[in-house]
């Protein structure tokens, strides 16, 4: 009983234990916690909190011990070194010359290794560029690092923007030197010493001929003003060693303005110009080639036995193909002109579309090459060559084929009409001008010893691997194509370029562009001298009105009229400028745009 009483005595009885029951429970306001039994917090919670507090203090203590005792010397040295700043002494950048030692990019007011002193703080060089004649995109430009409010450089590397400046930066840039500066906590300079003198960059001699570049650029200006062409591109190469003598893109920017960076209005106009001022057209521009691919497909037709050299095909101005799905609704593929009967040489000279429809896609009774062979020979002639590991690395071209169409047109199948259009360089065909120059070089050299393109005279000549099938093409077939290209100049679509003494062989091309075919790109490719080629040329006028009567051949004539008296033999080292040598014997014929 005493035990029971002691237990009863020690038991706390809450009023809720007496007063709450099933009758009065519903009347409590539960939102105010009425009618709830509150249990005390367990002592374990306090132990857990104390544990975490002690753990955090232990962590702080450990890190403090580590920073001040274990690694105290390391961080002390680091803090001491934070008082010092290394300031770059920019080296004198190498000069860029053309092949005749004309400076294209040079330095003014530049600190050199002999001029640097320990007290010098402003060592930024001024880069100057030759007046822009289509060399802005070629040369590119540089930018020096900017300084913070205390006069220290935010970063310490020269920025190169495109062109020669970027591609050959390791050679041109040399090695920067450094000032060792001590600063106080407010960023003020206490002392400064030179610890490493700069090493100047090396000069570069390009294969480019500035006078040729300038003369070509002027033709594009005239084409834009007279015929409203949007832009243009020109390339000339020495087919013997791959040296590029001219690489012009129009319109172009002034590298001096971009380097200086203060003419905001001019730079804004560059950026907003719809003609794409900063587009390096000869490698980054992709264009429908039009008829300039016809010599390649003519050679394919001869080599594959689709057509013989003297076989003639009739062009009445169109090719009519019956529609098997809708009898009576024939499909018509137009020629730009009715040419009558033409063999392979004449077809190249007059650029007969019907001839190339026939050998490309075939007609009833005559099997054509088919799209697989057109694709194969396009690649043989370098139209997919991106010229990797060279200054002229190009964008990926588009050579239309069934696989490409499935992807580009959401599963649409390939049709005969697609082959016809591809055989004249239209449809989805898109190549860069440098790829067109590669194709022209192979034609000029009969696929023998084809050099890779180069722009630095110090570079050794490298040769492109040619497919065995291409190397084994009958020499007579190459001769037929060359004669057709020569006939283009003497009696065909480029007869305005038939100058006395200049044996030029070539091919014109007109590619329709725009969503309504309201524009044209006008091409000329060629090589000279015809018998033993030294030089190849690609010249293209971009996005002119389809109503134009003057094309690439007409404006290229202006350049050839500027050649010296040695008739465009650019090996002559004594030339002073490009002066006219035109004689009354030049053919003055109407210009034809196919």
Distance, CA of 425 to CA of 292 (rounded, Å): 7
Is 583's pLDDT higher than 50?
A: no
Q: What is the average per-residue pLDDT within 271-290?
A: 95
Instruction: List, for residues 377-427, the tens digit of each pLDDT value.
Output: 999 999 999 999 999 999 999 999 999 999 999 999 999 999 999 999 999
pLDDT of residue 549: 87
Please state the three-class secondary structure of 311-367 as a single string: CCEEECCEEEECCCCCCCCCEEEECCCCCEEECHHHHHHHCCHHHHHHHHHCECCEC
**Contact residues for 434 (Cβ-Cβ < 8 A; gap 6+):** 235, 282, 283, 387, 392, 394, 453
The counts of H helices and E strands in the chain are: 21, 18
Is 117's pLDDT higher than 90?
A: no
pTM over 0.85: no
Highest mean pLDDT among 17-21, 323-327, 525-529: 525-529
Instruction: Name the residue with tokens 């004539």.
Output: 557
Is 121's pLDDT higher than 80?
A: no
pLDDT of residue 193: 66
pLDDT of residue 112: 41
CATH second-level architecture of 84-205?
Answer: Alpha-Beta Complex (3.90)
pLDDT of residue 319: 95
Q: Where are the domains of the chain?
A: 43-81, 84-205, 210-561
CATH second-level architecture of 210-561?
Answer: 3-Layer(aba) Sandwich (3.40)
Token pair belonging to 577: 């400028």
Instruction: List, for residues 320-372, the tens digit of each pLDDT value.
Output: 988 877 887 889 999 999 999 999 999 999 999 999 999 999 999 999 999 99
Distance, CA of 106 to CA of 121 (rounded, Å): 22
Is 272's pLDDT higher than 60?
A: yes
Same fold? 84-205, 210-561: no
Instruction: List, for residues 509-525, the tens digit of each pLDDT value.
Output: 999 888 888 999 999 99
Torsion of CA 407, 408, 412, 413, to 10 degrees: -80
pLDDT of residue 49: 84
Distance, CA of 291 to CA of 403 (rounded, Å): 23
Instruction: List, for residues 419-462, the tens digit of each pLDDT value.
Output: 999 999 999 999 999 999 999 999 999 999 999 999 999 999 99
Is 169's pLDDT higher than 70?
A: yes
Is 17's pLDDT higher than 60?
A: no
Distance, CA of 444 to CA of 593 (rounded, Å): 24
Cβ-count burial 271-306 (b if 16+ within 10 Å, e if not) = eeeeeebbbbbbbbbbbbbbbbbbbbbbbbbbbbeb
Average predicted confidence (pLDDT) for the chain: 85
Angle at 460 between CA 456 and CA 465, to 5 degrees: 115
Q: How confident is the model at residue 564 (pLDDT cuts 50, 70, 90)?
A: very low
Task: Yes or no: say if 507 and 291 are a contact pair by the CB < 8 Å rule.
Answer: yes
Is 114's pLDDT higher than 70?
A: no
């Amino acid at each position: 009983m005493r035990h029971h009483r002691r237990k009863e005595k020690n038991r706390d009885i809450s009023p809720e234990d007496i007063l709450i029951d099933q009758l009065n429970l519903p009347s409590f306001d539960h939102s105010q916690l009425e009618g709830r039994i509150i249990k005390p917090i367990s002592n374990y919670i306090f132990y857990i909190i104390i544990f975490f507090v002690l753990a955090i203090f232990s962590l702080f203590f450990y890190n403090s011990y580590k920073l001040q005792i274990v690694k105290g010397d390391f961080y002390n040295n680091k803090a001491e070194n934070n008082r010092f700043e290394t300031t770059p002494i920019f080296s004198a950048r190498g000069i860029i010359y053309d092949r005749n030692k004309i400076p294209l990019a040079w330095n003014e007011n530049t600190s050199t290794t002999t001029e640097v002193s320990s007290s010098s703080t402003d060592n930024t060089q001024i880069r100057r560029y030759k007046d822009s004649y289509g060399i802005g995109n070629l040369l590119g430009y540089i930018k020096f690092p900017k300084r913070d409010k205390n006069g220290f450089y935010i970063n310490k590397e020269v920025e190169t923007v495109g062109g020669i400046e970027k591609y050959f930066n390791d050679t041109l840039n040399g090695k920067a030197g450094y000032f060792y500066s001590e600063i106080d906590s407010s960023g003020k300079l206490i002392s400064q010493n030179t610890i490493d003198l700069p090493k100047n960059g090396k000069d570069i001699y390009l294969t480019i001929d500035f006078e040729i570049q300038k003369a070509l650029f002027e033709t594009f200006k005239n084409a834009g003003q007279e015929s409203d062409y949007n832009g243009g591109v020109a390339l000339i190469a020495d087919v013997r060693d791959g040296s590029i003598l001219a690489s012009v893109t129009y319109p172009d920017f002034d590298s001096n303005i971009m380097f200086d960076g203060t003419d905001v209005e001019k730079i804004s106009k560059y950026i907003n110009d719809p003609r794409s001022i900063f587009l390096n057209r000869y490698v980054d521009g992709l264009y429908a080639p039009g008829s300039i691919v016809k010599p390649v497909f003519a050679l394919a037709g001869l080599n594959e036995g689709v057509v013989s050299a003297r076989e003639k095909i009739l062009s009445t101005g169109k090719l009519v193909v019956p529609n098997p799905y809708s009898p009576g609704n024939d499909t018509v593929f137009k020629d730009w002109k009715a040419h009558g009967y033409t063999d392979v040489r004449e077809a190249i000279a007059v650029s007969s579309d019907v001839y190339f429809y026939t050998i490309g896609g075939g007609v009833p009774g005559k099997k054509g090459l088919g799209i697989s062979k057109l694709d194969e020979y396009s690649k043989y002639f370098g139209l997919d060559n991106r010229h990797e590991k060279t200054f002229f690395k190009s964008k990926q071209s588009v050579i239309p084929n069934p696989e490409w169409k499935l992807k580009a047109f959401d599963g649409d199948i390939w049709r005969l009409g697609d082959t016809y259009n591809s055989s004249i360089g239209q449809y989805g065909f898109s190549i860069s001008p440098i790829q067109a120059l590669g194709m022209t070089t192979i034609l000029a050299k009969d696929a023998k010893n084809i050099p890779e393109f180069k722009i630095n005279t110090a570079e050794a000549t490298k040769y492109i691997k040619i497919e065995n099938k291409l190397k084994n093409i009958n020499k007579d077939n190459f001769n037929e194509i060359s004669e057709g290209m020569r006939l283009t100049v003497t009696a065909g679509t480029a007869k305005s370029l038939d100058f006395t003494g200049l044996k030029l062989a070539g091919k014109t091309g007109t590619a329709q562009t725009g969503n309504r075919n309201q524009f044209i790109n006008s091409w000329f490719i060629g090589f000279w001298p015809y018998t033993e080629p030294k030089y190849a040329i690609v010249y293209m006028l971009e996005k002119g009105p389809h109503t134009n009567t003057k094309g690439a051949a007409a404006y290229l004539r202006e350049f050839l009229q500027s050649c010296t008296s040695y008739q465009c033999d650019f090996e002559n080292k004594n030339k002073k400028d490009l002066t006219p040598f035109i004689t009354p014997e030049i053919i003055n014929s109407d210009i034809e745009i196919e």
